[in-house]
Amino acid sequence: MAELKEISSNKIFGGYQKVFSHQSKELSCSMNFAIFLPSDSADKKFPVLYYLSGLTCNELNMVQKSGFQQFAAKHNIIVVCPDTSPRNIENLDTSDFNYDFGYGAGFYVDSTVEKYKNFRMYSYISSELIEVVNNNFPTLVDKQSIFGHSMGGHGSLICALKNPGLYKSVSAFAPISNPVNCPWGNKNFTGYLGDNKDEWKAYDATELVGKYNGPPLEIFVDQGSEDQFLKENQLLPNNLIDAAKKAQVPIIYKLREGYDHSYFFIATFMGEHIEYHAKFLNN
């Protein structure tokens, strides 16, 4: 069982918002994650909802800006918010790092480039973190779902599509839907995976949805119409929609008039997303 160190604990909506650190085997460094535990967590077990944050974020952005705790408390769901990249790596050359590559920008892939061998966020999220949470908290091990924002929306989609049956549901706020065809994806996939673009497709939701073969899975995508990154062709949701329809994978797409890419957008529709996941997790 992983040894956890409690960093903070705050009571909120009858439950507790906590932050822990642990030593990650996948990333070979210390990692933080935040976890919301409903009020009577000492007496029963709960489903788990994982939230993946976007570029420049860490485990606290969702915790402090989205107001999710009131909805998680209402539906009795544990919510886990991991960091977005490994950070505490010794002797790492960070000269190429920027806001959109490196710390705060793990892109939820398993790097195959030796220089960034610690950047194995895909395996950390979809395997190790789940084990850590299930071994240390009162979870229903067969009831978990995943969602995220932007880079984290990309991460949530690929985790669900690459692991049929692992998650009961998936949703995303303004996801990077087709990274092999956008500037952010090209930069990060080249940096973490090298120049072979065929290997990039293994971490692209638009590519993966056409190959999905597993239990029925519905995709829920939320997008603000005034999102600057939508206009800059970083997100490309229409490519995902077209691919999902072609593959006959059900997809819900809500274009929210006037909303941007910020946590103001996320906070507005957070309750709807948690209610959506609750339908699957509390069934």
Active site residues: 150, 227, 261
Q: Which of 52, 77, 72, 71 is nearest to 62 (CA)?
A: 52
Radius of gyration of the chain (CA): 18
Q: What is the dihedral of CA 23, 87, 122, 77, to 10 degrees?
A: 70
In the block, residue with structure tokens 């690929």: 158
The helix (H) or strand (E) run that includes residue 172 is strand 170-173
All residues at 6 or more sequence positions from 114 whose CB lies less than 8 Å from its CB, including other chains: none
What is the distance between the alpha carbons of residues 6 and 29, in angstroms, rounded to a whole number?
17
What is the distance between the alpha carbons of residues 281 and 283, in angstroms, rounded to a whole number?
6
Q: How many residues does the chain have?
A: 283
In the block, residue with structure tokens 């806001």: 99
